[in-house]
Structure 1
Amino acid sequence: MTDTPSRPGAFLLTLNPDHITPMGERPLDLSTVARDLKGTAQRLSMMASGKVSSDFIKPLRIGTNEPHTLAVGLDDAALEDLRKRYGDALIIEPDHDLDLFGGPAGMMPGGGASDLQSAGPRNFFTQGSSALILEITVKGNDGKPVAFAEVTGRGSAPFSLDNAVTDAKGMAELSFFGDTPTTLRELRVNPSRDYWGRIITRPDLTGFPKLAGKLQVTLTLERLGAGEDEQDVWGYQAMALPKADGFAANTLAPVKIAIIDSGIAAAHEDLEPAGGRDFTDRGGDETLWREDSIGHGTHVAGTCGAIFNGRGICGAAGPDAALYGLSVFPGGRTSSLIRALDWCVENEIDIANMSLGSAAGTAALQAAVIRATEAGVCLVAAAGNSGAGVMYPAAYAQVIAVAALGADATFPPDSPHRDQRGAHQAGRYFAAAFTCHGPQIDMAAPGVAVISCVPSEEGAAYAAWDGTSMAAPYVAGFAARLLRLRTELRAQGGAARVAALKAALLECCTDLGLPAELQGRGMPLWRMVPDAPAQTASVIERLEKVSHELSRELT
């Protein structure tokens, strides 16, 4: 009986800096390892596709230098051979899959996604079975049909669930066995864009008419504020960020911000990216960063650097920032993140936002983080959405780790964002239920019900998303403003500049009263910046002042 060959896995190879080369032997280099692996790569590629391919060995390097990492495909036999041949001279680690740390409220932990995954198959019925069939029309409060909205219903039975996506007319059909118009536990609508989601608990559907055996249910959603007029989104207000007319100008070059993510929809009217690069395995077209099939990178880019054009939203970075879209998704791995960080070094990026990560770190990724920091790239990362310990790369000491906050009265009370309220609240702010936490957290920023850009064939669309992914670009944008304002910071270079910028950010943070493991030093406020441009009080500050004065009068 012959053993079945194992499927190749993805690995990262780096040199062990602690290895001592025996006298008389030549120190190992990764070019030699790559040559030694050539035969293995040919064998594995033939097994996988029937033809020889170079995809099983990818040297990672900066410029034309010697590779610092090899991203390779190895089966069990090749892995064992490699360990025997090189021993402790070579570090072999998994090339981890990466996750994105944000999305629509209904797809977040606590927002219903886990229920959808575990509920089993949709309800199926035989002819003549007693079923409650809902023909649902979803429209906005502007009267327009809402297409591509996910509609989910939960029946009275424990695992009774059905869901569908609305068509161009805003219509979807759900069916429930054994239920009546008064027994459903919940109806939930998660729109893809332009409207707030909605949850209706214990809906009473008796008032809706019936046509051809189907209950004709109409659900109305509230439209987001973003659109024709430029909106002061709540995160912008909470951090007291000034608009363009209150922003100090200088003659320095724009701050360069890399959005390492799923790309940026460059056709969006609120975004003007300065450039980018694709690091996915989609065929070698380096311009694919201008497309964003997932939407995540576009949302992050809008929060950080949406332009000041009188429409949509304003980016936290202010009116003079240069965004670069570095796409590592779809299919993001640690190796693609390392390549993106190397690109930041080569192209003298000032700040890199990473709204992504994995539960495990690697020596290869940590080395890439250190290289970028020593080159003067300030790294900002989302802490993660598992509600557990801080993810990587945010957990590295060189990276600014950002947790997510929510605030009262920043979303409709019946929207799915209500599910993201965590156990800890101080004043109007609460720690998001999903946010990762721990001693690595440096600061917190708005990450619940964040309105930002999403891709659209019409050129401009917006959606309210949740996640530490949404919080990190607020901090990246704030850091860009600081770097633009504080010319003495830009005059520094390398790791010293990164350390000085991080220290300046921490000095701007205000303690919100939440546990340190959830907020770090607190939330950055622009009014805490020494010599910051004059600005008017934000809407939130004015509301808090009025509330305080009213409470004094009542007492």
Structure 2
Amino acid sequence: MATSPDDARPTSSDNRRKPVRTTQYMIAPAGAGISAQTLAEQLNRFGNILWTHDQRGVSGPPIAIVRMPDETAEALRRSTGGSLIIEPDSHLRAASFAGPTSSLIPTTTMTALGPDLTVTIRVLSEAGAPVEQAIVRLVGGQASAQGWTDRDGNVDLALRDEVPETVAAIFVSPRSGHWGLWQQQPYIEADAVNTLTLKPLPLPGRLDWGGEAMRFDQIPDHCRGADVKIALIDSGVATSHKQLAHIKHGIDARSGEDRLWSKDVTGHGTPCAGIINAAAQADYGIRGYAPDSELHVCKLPPDARCSDLIAALDDCLQYGIDVACIGVGCERGSVLVEQHIAMAKQQGVSIIAAAGNSGEGILFPACSPHVVAVGAVGQVGSFPEDSLQAAQAAAATAAAGGLFVPPFSCRGSELDLCAPGVAVIACQSPDGYAVCDGTSLAAAYVAALAALILADHADFKGSFAAKDGHRVERLFQILKDTAQPIGHPWQTGAGLPDAARALGVRSDQRPLAMPLNAGLREMRNAIRQLDRIPFSASQAMIFEPPRGPANVTRLPLNPAPLAFQATGAETATVHELRAAMALAGLAEGP
């Protein structure tokens, strides 16, 4: 028996029996010729129409954002015979600032049963000043507790059924100005103030480790991304920051207003904006790698959904954007978002997206075939040994040249490239600097390089000058063909982008392994890093999950170092030191 649209409406008796669970949907005509008003009139009796999205300055079918029961949506889908596209308006999540994962937390041998353990943690700078608004996480054998430090640098945390001896780890993540802190099996006193001291955050000045790894230091000074428009689709940008005050273009993707984009409450978009477009400073700060590009901010709200991403993509088309950098994503794909991505590509918008921070399958839209998906890598030695980044390195997958794939970086066959995304010193709102981790930072590095290629590569002044899909494909090809392979494609894609090769400045690849006669300090650092890896595998394993949907299993992590003792230069043989260096990715094999 056929179902009519009227059958899709819940009855009053159904409503009296139990509350009706509703879901936010995007609904659009499958073909052309239906106006936004006509669509709204058709759908008005089936649910609460929140708003109707009609592409701003872009030709395309309208989209109604409707809240309705799932049963109603399914009945409507059946009754319309495929004339409407009906799909959930999924929430988006930011792809940056990955926290410690469960694999980083050691297990305790004790189990405490008794009253709650309440401890006071005080976080200070090396100068003795309190560090305010630092996130402190205390991990016990049974549970964890988290809080923020007050103006005196203090936070009180309570763990149920724990004693000081069962505390497995403590993590401290400051908002800006300092390195974070990671301690395993910390010494905690219940009846005293436990003081932790954070190391100051050095500003790299002209070039950070990521810029050196991608060889931005070997390109001509005039390669600065002039006349290229980059859209940053993220949480906004704090133009109160001294290195970002020059940014003048932006829009709120949901409302279409141009007033709110210059504030970044969550502090997610601001670090990415600095990597792309930070203005040069005389003797401090960070470097923006496409400083002469024109950055357009497409601000997403904290509760962003796929419909907001569609609006941002429409803004890219309206303002003639060349490169779009997307730092958000979701697990579930969207036909309507995919349509807008394809439309943007055909009009010359090259989309670079973060792969995601769950350590699992590539997020959407990064997994789209029309998008370059970027994962994160870190570099051994670019962070203190007791930092949060050291915790990531301890559970990482080793790559070439002292690089590693952090456990949070998403993996899969859709991954195209990897880029710096661990221990990145970046701008932070309102006017500071913070060390950040995440694949959205990696995407920002690649977006900046894409702008330099469009501005200065000869191909885009000749046969690929027209803004169309061929231009986008050529840009993606250059990025991937000139990348340096550093590991398994499932984890690193085509490899680490090479600015010098991409711009035709150099044809050789960057040497990734340090020579075997590396200094004793580097060898000892490698050994110390390896000693922190809490795994027991005896040899490296080559493993590739079956190709398929984004729902993939976790890859095996880095194996443990070879068994040897190295307490000083006199007790470690040359062979053993070389083995340690090889496992750290700092030399060839022994």
1:111/1:420 contact within 8 Å kept: yes
Question: Could you tell me which of 233, 238, 241 is aligned with 1:260?
Answer: 233
Give the match for residue 521 of structure 1: 494
1:225/1:231 contact within 8 Å kept: no
Question: Could you tell me which of 43, 47, 51 is aligned with 1:57?
Answer: 51
Question: Could you tell me which of 215, 222, 243 is aligned with 1:240?
Answer: 215
Structure 1 pair 235–263 and aligned structure 2 pair: CA distance change class (3 A): same
Q: Trace 1:343-382 onto structure 2 (pairs within 5 A).
A: 343-382=315-354
Give the match for residue 402 of structure 2: 428
Q: What is the deviation of 1:410?
A: 1.2
Give the match for residue 272 of structure 2: 300
Q: Which whole-Å deviations, capped at 9, do the CAs of 1:512-533 have from their partners, x for residues lacking one? A: 1x11111111111122135439
Give the match for residue 426 of structure 2: 452
What is the SS of the residue equivalent to 2:217? coil
How many residues align? The count is 498
Q: Which whole-Å deviations, capped at 9, do the CAs of 1:330-355 have from their partners, x for residues lacking one? A: 11111110110011011100100011
1:11 alignment partner AA: Y
Give the match for residue 137 of structure 2: 152
Q: Which whole-Å deviations, capped at 9, do the CAs of 1:100-122 have from their partners, x for residues lacking one? A: 1111544x67567xx9xxxxxxx
Q: Which whole-Å deviations, capped at 9, do the CAs of 1:476-527 have from their partners, x for residues lacking one? A: 0111111121254152321111111111212320111x11111111111122
1:137 alignment partner AA: R
1:9 alignment partner AA: T
- Which one has a larger percent strand, Structure 1 or Structure 2? 1
Structure 1 pair 383–304 and aligned structure 2 pair: CA distance change class (3 A): same
Matched, 1:497 2:435: no
Q: What is the deviation of 1:178?
A: 7.5
Distance in 1 of aligned mates of 2:42 and 2:166: 67
Distance in 2 of aligned mates of 1:101 and 1:109: 18
1:105/1:417 contact within 8 Å kept: no
Distance in 2 of aligned mates of 1:295 and 1:546: 42
2:216 alignment partner AA: L
2:340 alignment partner AA: A
Larger relative contact order (Cα-Cα within 8 Å, sequence gap ≥ 6)? 1
Distance in 1 of aligned mates of 2:305 and 2:222: 39
Matched, 1:466 2:449: no
Question: Could you tell me which of 378, 387, 390 is aligned with 1:415?
Answer: 387
Q: What is the deviation of 1:81?
A: 5.9
What is the SS of the residue equivalent to 1:136? strand
2:272/2:441 contact within 8 Å kept: yes
2:417/2:496 contact within 8 Å kept: yes
Matched, 1:8 2:2: no
Give the match for residue 52 of structure 1: none
Question: Could you tell me which of 219, 223, 227 is aligned with 2:196?
Answer: 219
1:111/1:416 contact within 8 Å kept: no
1:511/1:521 contact within 8 Å kept: yes
Matched, 1:171 2:177: no
Q: Which whole-Å deviations, capped at 9, do the CAs of 1:12-35 have from their partners, x for residues lacking one? A: 223335xxxxxxxx9666543222
Structure 1 pair 274–124 and aligned structure 2 pair: CA distance change class (3 A): farther
1:510/1:521 contact within 8 Å kept: yes
Give the match for residue 532 of structure 2: none
Q: Which whole-Å deviations, capped at 9, do the CAs of 1:272-303 have from their partners, x for residues lacking one? A: 3231110246xx64321111111111121112
Give the match for residue 370 of structure 2: 398
1:6 alignment partner AA: V
Distance in 2 of aligned mates of 1:487 and 1:194: 41
Give the match for residue 92 of structure 1: 86
Q: Which whole-Å deviations, capped at 9, do the CAs of 1:160-196 have from their partners, x for residues lacking one? A: 5443321112122335677666664333212121111
1:111/1:417 contact within 8 Å kept: no
1:430 alignment partner AA: F
Structure 1 pair 545–57 and aligned structure 2 pair: CA distance change class (3 A): same
Distance in 2 of aligned mates of 1:404 and 1:57: 37
Give the match for residue 35 of structure 1: 41
Structure 1 pair 224–462 and aligned structure 2 pair: CA distance change class (3 A): same
2:152 alignment partner AA: K
1:14/1:30 contact within 8 Å kept: no
1:287 alignment partner AA: R
Q: How large is the Cα RMSD of the aligned pairs? A: 3.4
Structure 1 pair 328–525 and aligned structure 2 pair: CA distance change class (3 A): same
TM-score by length of 1: 0.81
Distance in 2 of aligned mates of 1:205 and 1:76: 50
1:521 alignment partner AA: A
1:133/1:215 contact within 8 Å kept: no
1:185/1:203 contact within 8 Å kept: yes
Distance in 2 of aligned mates of 1:195 and 1:363: 43
Distance in 2 of aligned mates of 1:77 and 1:200: 50
Structure 1 pair 522–59 and aligned structure 2 pair: CA distance change class (3 A): same
What is the SS of the residue equivalent to 2:261? helix
What is the SS of the residue equivalent to 2:259? helix
Distance in 1 of aligned mates of 2:42 and 2:139: 57
Distance in 1 of aligned mates of 2:439 and 2:70: 36
Sequence identity percentage: 32
Distance in 2 of aligned mates of 1:96 and 1:506: 30
What is the SS of the residue equivalent to 1:524? coil
Structure 1 pair 101–343 and aligned structure 2 pair: CA distance change class (3 A): same
Distance in 1 of aligned mates of 2:60 and 2:397: 50
Q: What is the deviation of 1:357?
A: 0.8
Structure 1 pair 393–76 and aligned structure 2 pair: CA distance change class (3 A): closer
Distance in 1 of aligned mates of 2:91 and 2:54: 17
Q: Trace 1:10-159 onto structure 2 (pairs within 5 A).
A: 10-16=24-30, 31-40=37-46, 44=48, 56-63=50-57, 65=59, 67-76=61-70, 78-79=72-73, 82-83=76-77, 85-103=79-97, 105-106=99-100, 133-155=118-140, 158-159=141-142
What is the SS of the residue equivalent to 1:289? coil
Q: Which whole-Å deviations, capped at 9, do the CAs of 1:287-332 have from their partners, x for residues lacking one? A: 2111111111112111222221233111232x31111111113111
Structure 1 pair 547–74 and aligned structure 2 pair: CA distance change class (3 A): farther
Distance in 2 of aligned mates of 1:166 and 1:480: 40
Structure 1 pair 168–547 and aligned structure 2 pair: CA distance change class (3 A): farther
Distance in 2 of aligned mates of 1:147 and 1:99: 26
1:88 alignment partner AA: G
Q: What is the deviation of 1:475?
A: 0.5
2:345/2:472 contact within 8 Å kept: yes
Matched, 1:278 2:252: yes
Distance in 1 of aligned mates of 2:250 and 2:104: 33
Distance in 1 of aligned mates of 2:504 and 2:95: 34
1:466 alignment partner AA: D
1:450/1:464 contact within 8 Å kept: yes
TM superposition outliers: structure 1 runs of 4+ over 4 Å: 26-31, 108-112, 175-183, 545-552
